[in-house]
Amino acid sequence: MRGVRPLRPEFFAILALALVPAACSNHSPAASSSGSTTTAKATTTTSPSTTLAQPPTSGPLRATASIQTGLASGDSVLLTEAPDGAVYFACVSDNCSGSSGSLTAIWVVYGDRAPREVEQVTGDVMSLAASESELFVATNASITAFDRSGGYMLSTTPDPPGVTASGNLFPSVSLAFGSDQLWAIYGFSTDESGYEASALERIDPADQASPSTQVVSSDVGMAGLAIGGSGAFFGDFMKNTIQAVSPTGAVTATSSALPAYPNQVTLQSEVGGALVSLDLAATSAIQSSVVTYSPTTLSQVTSSPLAGVTSGQRAAIESTLAGPLLIVGGCNGVSAVADGDADVSSRCQSVSALERISVISGSTIDPVSIPGALALLGPYPVVVTSATSGIGLVRLG
């Protein structure tokens, strides 16, 4: 089981009532196995070269490929997309097929090809991320980097000081890669106050054998983390502000105080030279809105009403090569990290809208209808679906 990520207050009641995800079925991802598996190195040889077409930046998007993962619709699945469009995933339910004992299998989908097993790792897998050359796997004890082309393990980074197991509750970990850095949020509070204390760590993978690490903050708030073109942005809980962090870990800017509850600001991504956030109202008396900030000064630039999002409803803006896409409902709004991995399970809300959005005006256009949609990945837009046939991936173009 994964730890609980830092969520907005109303999510705790939702999660407390959610059904426990069904155990993985006897399905195994329909894949071509590429060799014997160990806990220390990958099962594959060189990754295939698959070039995806550039998705259109205007006009309606449509499904261009549909791939079955081989997992059942009740499974809990972690997914992330690499910059080249390869989708990595792991089943994190109990008794997952393809996993053995304490080992968890990691699979990859290149283009529209069938899934292929690439790794087996020890421990509870909590998050995935990928760069152009590396795959990062976070467990309840460490983060391991694997070479994507050769499959061998490059390094293992232990959790930072103070982030340790507490009884049967492990710290949650959420990963994202950007600005040549790996960013990790650790939630390690186990109280029931409605706020999960979180630490932000920057990991520099330049030295593949021994990556350097830095704890940037030990008080990341519910606004979460977003990756930008020249660093990262996170919400500071005690100061109730947004902080900008350079790729070297230095805080370069601080915003004015954010609106207090029942306004709920969550960072999304940097789009077209603007840091984008959603202010999702917790009560019907407040209008949800999309808010942009200068990524250099963190001064607020625009605030526009966001139609079609009701109070208590999750929403997220995914930055993709097709442009920014708004997804209402689904699983994206659960994560503490915008543009990070997707955690798909039975606790996700149904998707009520998937469409292009103007982050300046808040207006939407060109809705996309994908049956069974649960989550959206980028940079190449991929919709994660669930149907009687199991969990699938639908590429948009």
Nearest to 385 by CA among 350, 340, 355: 350
Please classify residue 219 by burial: count the beta carbons closer than 10 Å to its beta carbon, then call 0-12 exposed, 13-18 middle and 19+ buried: middle
d(CA 248, CA 216): 10
Range of the structural domain that residue 209 is part of? 9-44+58-396
Nearest 10 degrees: Cα torsion 291, 294, 298, 299 = -70
pLDDT of residue 245: 97
Q: In this predicted model, what pLDDT tens digit does every residue of 205-236 receive, in sequence order?
A: 999 888 999 999 988 888 889 998 899 999 99
Q: Is residue 3 part of a domain?
A: no
Q: Which three-class secondary structure state does DSSP give residue 390?
A: strand
Average pLDDT, the chain: 82
Q: In this predicted model, what pLDDT tens digit does every residue of 25-84 receive, in sequence order?
A: 344 565 443 333 334 444 444 455 568 999 999 999 999 999 999 998 888 999 999 999
Going by C-beta distance under 8 Å and a sequence separation of 6 or more, which residues neighbour residue 19? 346, 347
Q: Assign 170 a pLDDT band (cuts: 50, 70, 90).
A: low
Determine if the peptide bond prior to 379 is cis (ω within 30°).
yes
Report the phi/psi class of residue 123: left, alpha or beta, with left for phi > 0 and alpha for psi in -120 to 50.
left
Residue for token digits 């077409």?
Answer: 53
Q: Assign 133 a pLDDT band (cuts: 50, 70, 90).
A: very high
d(CA 119, CA 137): 10
Nearest 10 degrees: Cα torsion 136, 137, 143, 144 = -70
Determine if the peptide bond prior to 262 is cis (ω within 30°).
yes
pLDDT of residue 323: 96
Asked if the model's pLDDT at residue 194 lies above 60, the reply is no
Q: Assign 9 a pLDDT band (cuts: 50, 70, 90).
A: very low
Rounded mean pLDDT of 6-12? 32
Asked if the model's pLDDT at residue 131 lies above 60, the reply is yes
Q: Is residue 52 part of a domain?
A: no
Q: What percentage of the chain has pLDDT greater than the value 90?
A: 52
**How many domains does the chain fold into?**
1
Specify the amino acid at residue 94. D
pLDDT of residue 4: 33
Q: Is residue 4 part of a domain?
A: no
d(CA 77, CA 91): 4
Structure tokens at 271: 């789009």
Q: In this predicted model, what pLDDT tens digit does every residue of 248-303 receive, in sequence order?
A: 999 999 999 998 877 889 999 999 899 999 998 777 767 889 999 999 999 999 99
Q: Is residue 79 part of a domain?
A: yes
Report the phi/psi class of residue 208: left, alpha or beta, with left for phi > 0 and alpha for psi in -120 to 50.
alpha
- The DSSP element (H or E) to which 214 belongs, if any, is strand 212-217
Specify the amino acid at residue 244. A
d(CA 12, CA 190): 13
Asked if the model's pLDDT at residue 1 lies above 50, the reply is no
- Least confident interval from 182-196, 230-244, 320-334: 182-196
Q: Is residue 49 part of a domain?
A: no
The CATH code of the domain that includes 222 is: 2.130.10.10
Q: Is residue 191 part of a domain?
A: yes
Q: What are phi and psi of 14, to 5 degrees?
A: -65, -45
- The residue among 31 and 94 whose pLDDT is bigger is 94
Q: Which three-class secondary structure state does DSSP give residue 181?
A: strand
Q: What angle do CA 347, 350, 356 make, to 5 degrees?
A: 125
Q: Assign 340 a pLDDT band (cuts: 50, 70, 90).
A: low
pLDDT of residue 34: 38
pLDDT of residue 161: 72
Q: Is residue 106 part of a domain?
A: yes
Q: Is residue 32 part of a domain?
A: yes
- The residue among 170 and 56 whose pLDDT is bigger is 56
- Least confident interval from 154-168, 260-274, 289-303, 324-338: 154-168
pTM: 0.86
